[in-house]
Amino acid sequence: MDTGLPKGLKRAMNFLLANIPKDKLISVYIKGSFLTREMKRKSDVDILPIVKDKRTMKKLKAIRDKNKEMLRPSELLPISYTELKQKNRSWGRADTFLRDLDHHKRIYGKRILKKDYPRRIWDKMFLDEIS
């Protein structure tokens, strides 16, 4: 893990590593205003843990929801590896993660490469979001 992380982000990463077995955590990325240095007083730090399966993702979401105040200003937004591998999806979380991957920073685990995962074409993604 990157040791040059700010205190709040370190606290969230320690929480994540204490609550999710390492063999269930593939990687962790951060995104948003924290990276672009456009944070404002009420901004949060978006942390994207990539976990192995939907069961682990649901567990993490439940634990996160019980500890939101302690985790602030960090926000854990988990994605399951199953979502990333799924073809023909009609929703956008995995697609938008992959689309914007070049703008995220990996702080833990395996590097995710866009070419290794299916993505909807931009027009399909856009139309699905509208509907």
Nearest to 129 by CA among 99, 87, 83, 90: 90
Query: pLDDT at residue 124 above 90?
Result: no
Give 41-74 pLDDT, tens digit per residue.
Answer: 666 789 999 999 999 999 999 999 999 999 988 8
Give 76-91 pLDDT, tens digit per residue.
Answer: 999 999 989 988 766 6
Q: Tell me if 8 sits within 8 A of 74, measured CB to CB.
A: yes
Q: How, if at all, do strands 74-76 and 105-109 pair?
A: unpaired
pTM: 0.84
